[in-house]
Structure 1
Amino acid sequence: MTPSTSARSARNALLLAGTLLVAANLRVPATGLPPLLAQITAHFGLSTTAAGALTTLPLLAFALLSPFAAAIARRLGLERTLFCAMATIALGIGVRSSGWEWALFLGTWIIGMGIAVGNVLLPSLVKRDFPDNAAAVTGAYVLAMGVVAALGSAAAVPLADAHGWQAALAGFVLVPLAAMAVWATQWGSGSAPAPVDARAQPSAPIWRSALAWQITFYLGLNSTIYYVAIGWLPSILAESGVSAQQAGTLHGVLQLASAIPGLVLGPIVRRMSDQRLAAALAAAMSTIALLGFWLLPALSWLWSVLFGMGTGATFILGLTFVALRTRDVAQSTALSGMSQSVGYLLAAVAPMAMGALHDRLGGWQVPLLVCAALAAAAVAMGALAGRNRRIGA
């Protein structure tokens, strides 16, 4: 191996490691809070609506800021924007864990801002820097998201019991700090994710594309049911007689299961002529799991695993469609922004709506049935989005 080849391999290894560490931050700061929600609610005396807002705020940030992520990256460069996103997440974690009620909400919003930018730009980076391995790298970074989120959920309650909920929330800052330490090696690249020529931007055609809407709804419906489960699963399990410790563990199991498809789905997708069957089956797994939580809550561990695998596979496939169904990095960035914005707007409304439905009806049966219907709609969207086509072709 020549020195130049060795240096290039080292740069690629650092780029991949940095990509996985950035991905690890795109879930755990938001999903690590629900297991602690009971303690935080008791500490501040929050209403059910206020507690639901803590779950909804990051999703609103995702929806509102996603369309602007590409413009920020064109100004600062893709690598620098992602570094700043990690710094924003670290800042938000610090504010959120400071101990004041107003800071709890402000910090949660700041965290959502950082995650929103990372959500949009990471698929663009994968398409640009790993064009021949987009599905495999997407699977690997979803695996990183799921593993770190699972560890965070499982550790949150024991840490809070030992040191208090503030310390448990503050501990999540180690994840963005680690990402910043490795991603700092990419700072000098400063490359943009899209051409400078505004005429080359495909944003307007993206919003008029039926295929783009199919991908958007496939990701959006999946995000909707996922964040309902992330926000309310401990409460759903508590009504079935599960302890807070067990509920936190199952919350982590669900997220760990969402990482499992990342181990196998990437190589399989590369061999498929299209992804219709895989996309439909992934969403069908989530549908079955939600019906299982409703009809057979005694098997919650099974439904947690099945739901995690279904939503994880759907997420990987949806992100892979952003790369496979677009012509270039500029178009993939536009599609990523569109799908994140619309998808997370749907997801932001759902946790509070399902919580209100629960309060009105006095149980989780109907909200679970509604979510199962949304997952069934994602089956249809997956069958359409999985066709071997490109936007504008």
Structure 2
Amino acid sequence: MHDSSQSTTRSNVLTFLGIMLVALNLRPGLTSVASVLNQIGRGLGLSALDQGILTTLPVLFLGIAAPLAPALSRRLGIERAVLAAVVLLAFALLARPYLDFAALLIGTSIVGSCIGIMGVLLPGIVKRDFPQHASLLTGLYTAVVFFGASSAAGVTEPLRMAFDGDWRSSLMVWAVPAGIASMVWASQLNPEPIRKARPTPGHSLFRDPLAWQVTLYMGLQAVLAFAVFGWLPTILQSRGLTPVNAGFALSLSIMLQISTAILAPWASSKMRDQRLIIALAIVFTISGILGCIVGPLPQIWLWVVILGLGQGATFSMALTLLAIRAGDPETSARLSGMAQGVGYTMAAFGPLVLGVLNEWFDDWRIAGVFLALTGLGALAAGIAAGRDRLVGSHAAANASA
């Protein structure tokens, strides 16, 4: 009995460590490129359009690949599916800096696809292995996601300088944490033969109102997140901040997200449902965005802080809903595939819409109206998704009736 208890504890520790290490790799493949995009453009002779494609493709493929994750999980088993994705991610990160532009686009698309698959499967593993602490674990790994994103955004350029201006080597470095994650993840796999999971019978989530509410919340908050990531420094520079301070503002915003990424799911777990926390998070996010665009310039750092605190909570609550709105790990994976697949496909076009609006009107306030309306949509969807219900319960109730 004692040996069995020790074995279970060791397995839980390895699973927890594996989840955190995989989560660490869910953003560096994206944010590291943005940090040295100008150098990549000069090195490969890319146009502005080429650079825009390079930054849009991984987010787009993140959304395209996400719905494939449940099927991959059923074929390989959820742990082996994650392992396959993180191993492929490591190889793609290692190879893509040393390819020509066409192959670089393919490598970047593979990076986005691997991230999409891992992001879909992690909530199901949390739901299965830590059912009593799903909200807390989701908050912790969301914080690790933000830490990875912020680290890659802030460290890639200094690494390039340390490598005598070689942007290729600075990007290649991010294959190392992916390799470490794959080794740790492989060490906790069950050596038994693969037992392919059978699809869980049930109605299509695309006909479930609650699933669509979760999906719309995920997608609309992601539009805000990627729009801020892509354009916040440019917006702040247009208001008079230096490029250094504008870049620091984005890094500060991302770092502040770590705190509310942990606190918001924990606080919501103490409440009857998640509506209040989601509403507060969206209000903070909208206020921070509008403050950065039209607020008094002397208070700009206050708005940056408010924005970071709001977006940390909005994203972590989106991931929390994927775990707690499903009754079992299989449904969690299906819901995650739907929400992230549709959501990140929407998010891929958010920065593009902002760029088009600014080019047409040459006024960031117009873009601010678009972001405010997006935020209000996220607020409506989030309040609906935050009710204490389970995906599929409506259909089950109708069937029983």
Q: TM-score range by the shorter chain?
A: over 0.9
Identity %: 35
Tell me, yes or no, if the aligned pair for 2:59 and 2:347 is still in contact at 8 Å. yes
Query: Deviation per CA, 1:119-161, whole angstroms, max 9, x where unpaired?
Result: 1101111111111100000001001111121121111222223
Q: Which residue of 1 aligns with 2:396?
A: none
Tell me, yes or no, if the aligned pair for 1:90 and 1:173 is still in contact at 8 Å. yes
Q: Which residue of 1 aligns with 2:113?
A: 113
Q: Which residue of 2 aligns with 1:175?
A: 177
Tell me, yes or no, if the aligned pair for 1:149 and 1:252 is still in contact at 8 Å. no
Tell me, yes or no, if the aligned pair for 2:261 and 2:315 is still in contact at 8 Å. no
Once the two structures are TM-superposed, the CA of residue 259 in structure 1 deviates from its matched residue by: 1.5
Once the two structures are TM-superposed, the CA of residue 58 in structure 1 deviates from its matched residue by: 1.2
Q: Which residue of 1 aligns with 2:75?
A: 75
Q: Which residue of 1 aligns with 2:370?
A: 370
Tell me, yes or no, if the aligned pair for 2:273 and 2:386 is still in contact at 8 Å. yes
Q: Residues 162 and 362 of structure 1: is their aligned pair in 2 closer, same or farther, counting only changes over 3 Å? A: farther
- TM-score w.r.t. structure 2 length? 0.91
Q: Which residue of 2 aligns with 1:122?
A: 122
Tell me, yes or no, if the aligned pair for 2:264 and 2:277 is still in contact at 8 Å. no
Q: Which residue of 1 aligns with 2:398?
A: none
With 130-139 and 378-387 compared, the bigger mean Cα shift is at: 378-387
Once the two structures are TM-superposed, the CA of residue 171 in structure 1 deviates from its matched residue by: 1.6
CA distance, structure 1, for counterparts of residue 138 and residue 172 of structure 2:
28
Query: Deviation per CA, 1:62-105, whole angstroms, max 9, x where unpaired?
Result: 22111111111111111111111111221221233115322332
Q: Which residue of 2 aligns with 1:286?
A: 285
Tell me, yes or no, if the aligned pair for 2:235 and 2:293 is still in contact at 8 Å. no
Q: Which residue of 2 aligns with 1:232?
A: 231
Q: Which residue of 2 aligns with 1:339?
A: 339
Once the two structures are TM-superposed, the CA of residue 108 in structure 1 deviates from its matched residue by: 1.1
Within 5 Å, give how 1:251-262 maps onto structure 2: 251-262=250-261
Q: Residues 13 and 283 of structure 1: is their aligned pair in 2 closer, same or farther, counting only changes over 3 Å? A: same
Tell me, yes or no, if the aligned pair for 2:77 and 2:197 is still in contact at 8 Å. no
Q: 2:42 corresponds to which letter in structure 1?
A: A
Q: Residues 349 and 174 of structure 1: is their aligned pair in 2 closer, same or farther, counting only changes over 3 Å? A: same
Q: 1:304 corresponds to which letter in structure 2?
A: V
Residue 33 (str. 1) matches residue 36 (str. 2)? no
Three-state SS of the structure 1 residue aligned to 2:319 is helix
With 329-338 and 101-110 compared, the bigger mean Cα shift is at: 101-110
Tell me, yes or no, if the aligned pair for 1:93 and 1:107 is still in contact at 8 Å. yes
Tell me, yes or no, if the aligned pair for 1:153 and 1:248 is still in contact at 8 Å. no
Q: Residues 175 and 363 of structure 1: is their aligned pair in 2 closer, same or farther, counting only changes over 3 Å? A: farther
With 171-180 and 153-162 compared, the bigger mean Cα shift is at: 153-162
Once the two structures are TM-superposed, the CA of residue 348 in structure 1 deviates from its matched residue by: 1.1
Tell me, yes or no, if the aligned pair for 2:139 and 2:316 is still in contact at 8 Å. yes
Q: Residues 266 and 65 of structure 1: is their aligned pair in 2 closer, same or farther, counting only changes over 3 Å? A: same
Three-state SS of the structure 1 residue aligned to 2:174 is helix
Q: Residues 247 and 71 of structure 1: is their aligned pair in 2 closer, same or farther, counting only changes over 3 Å? A: same
With 330-339 and 42-51 compared, the bigger mean Cα shift is at: 42-51
Question: What is the root-mean-square deviation of aligned Cα atoms in Å?
Answer: 2.2
Q: 2:306 corresponds to which letter in structure 1?
A: L
Q: Which residue of 1 aligns with 2:268?
A: 269
Tell me, yes or no, if the aligned pair for 2:77 and 2:196 is still in contact at 8 Å. no
Query: Deviation per CA, 1:207-250, whole angstroms, max 9, x where unpaired?
Result: 11111111111110011111111122332233334344333333
Q: Residues 192 and 225 of structure 1: is their aligned pair in 2 closer, same or farther, counting only changes over 3 Å? A: farther
Tell me, yes or no, if the aligned pair for 1:35 and 1:234 is still in contact at 8 Å. no
Three-state SS of the structure 2 residue aligned to 1:242 is coil
Q: Which residue of 1 aligns with 2:46?
A: 46
Query: Deviation per CA, 1:298-329, whole angstroms, max 9, x where unpaired?
Result: 54433333222222211211221122222212
Tell me, yes or no, if the aligned pair for 1:215 and 1:382 is still in contact at 8 Å. yes
Tell me, yes or no, if the aligned pair for 1:290 and 1:307 is still in contact at 8 Å. yes
CA distance, structure 2, for counterparts of residue 81 and residue 229 of structure 1:
31
Tell me, yes or no, if the aligned pair for 1:78 and 1:193 is still in contact at 8 Å. no
Q: Which residue of 2 aligns with 1:222?
A: 221
Q: Residues 358 and 110 of structure 1: is their aligned pair in 2 closer, same or farther, counting only changes over 3 Å? A: same
Residue 360 (str. 1) matches residue 360 (str. 2)? yes
Tell me, yes or no, if the aligned pair for 1:140 and 1:263 is still in contact at 8 Å. yes
With 68-77 and 266-275 compared, the bigger mean Cα shift is at: 266-275
Q: 1:136 corresponds to which letter in structure 2?
A: L
- TM-score w.r.t. structure 1 length? 0.93
Q: Residues 339 and 21 of structure 1: is their aligned pair in 2 closer, same or farther, counting only changes over 3 Å? A: same
Q: Residues 299 and 209 of structure 1: is their aligned pair in 2 closer, same or farther, counting only changes over 3 Å? A: same
Tell me, yes or no, if the aligned pair for 2:75 and 2:197 is still in contact at 8 Å. no
Q: Residues 104 and 265 of structure 1: is their aligned pair in 2 closer, same or farther, counting only changes over 3 Å? A: same
Query: Deviation per CA, 1:39-67, whole angstroms, max 9, x where unpaired?
Result: 22233343332222222111211221111
Q: 1:170 corresponds to which letter in structure 2?
A: M
Tell me, yes or no, if the aligned pair for 1:194 and 1:329 is still in contact at 8 Å. no
With 245-254 and 337-346 compared, the bigger mean Cα shift is at: 245-254
CA distance, structure 1, for counterparts of residue 263 and residue 372 of structure 2:
25
Three-state SS of the structure 2 residue aligned to 1:388 is coil
Q: Residues 43 and 364 of structure 1: is their aligned pair in 2 closer, same or farther, counting only changes over 3 Å? A: farther
Structure 2: 5+ residue stretches without partners: 394-401
Q: 1:15 corresponds to which letter in structure 2?
A: T
Tell me, yes or no, if the aligned pair for 2:67 and 2:337 is still in contact at 8 Å. yes
Tell me, yes or no, if the aligned pair for 1:287 and 1:375 is still in contact at 8 Å. yes
Within 5 Å, give how 1:281-320 maps onto structure 2: 281-296=280-295, 297=297, 299-320=299-320
CA distance, structure 1, for counterparts of residue 207 and residue 277 of structure 2:
26
